[in-house]
Structure 1
């Protein structure tokens, strides 16, 4: 199962994008980040690094 970013909470810091081992996180409108769920390997590195805890497993 992939992870998903809650864009309402995301502050656009880019920490998740920098730590992702498969580079599946990219910047979208307003500097927020989005995870390509087809590329995500569900390692959880992004969720652990997020300072505002806006990343969780996708349902």
Structure 2
């Protein structure tokens, strides 16, 4: 369950930042790059901050 939540949050962040880049300012694309870099880092190190946050909030695997 936690993996699905992490992926959903990442997807929501990416979509929101793309909408903000289109309608507000293109600098919001840096947020998209940040989310992508965190996904890449998570796949390499097998550590994800959002996973830790969800664990502390009581979300089960």
Q: TM-score range by the shorter chain?
A: under 0.3
- Tell me which protein shows more strand as a share of its residues: 1
What TM-score, normalized by structure 1, do the two folds share?
0.26
What TM-score, normalized by structure 2, do the two folds share?
0.25
